Amino acid sequence: MKVIIYDYSKLKGKVREVFGTNEAYAAFLGISEASLYEKYKSESYFNQSQIEKSILRFNEKPEMIPAYFFTKKVENNLTN
């Protein structure tokens, strides 16, 4: 099974710029801060509405979505 790990460094920088804290960003998305950290670690993923809401709040064009949410860090093959 392939596991994709995403690099959210650009997103984290934008979150600091726009929201100041991860806590404020998580509240904006309607999730817990722990859930946000799971997303940052690629243990769960941002859904379409969270991505769209974020891009609008960041005042970015939709073309920037891949840079913030889909930059791959590594791909690992996992075996059971």
Is the pLDDT assigned to residue 75 strictly greater than 80? no
Can you tell me the distance from the alpha carbon of 61 to that of 39, in angstroms, rounded to the nearest whole number? 22
Least confident of 1-10, 15-24, 42-51: 1-10
Average pLDDT value for the chain: 92
| Distance between first and last Cα of the chain | 9
Output the pLDDT for position 76: 59
Please state whether 20 falls in left (phi above 0), alpha (psi between -120 and 50) or beta: left
Report the number of distinct structural domains present in the chain.
Answer: 1
Host domain of residue 26? 2-77
Q: Residue 21: which CATH number?
A: 1.10.260.40
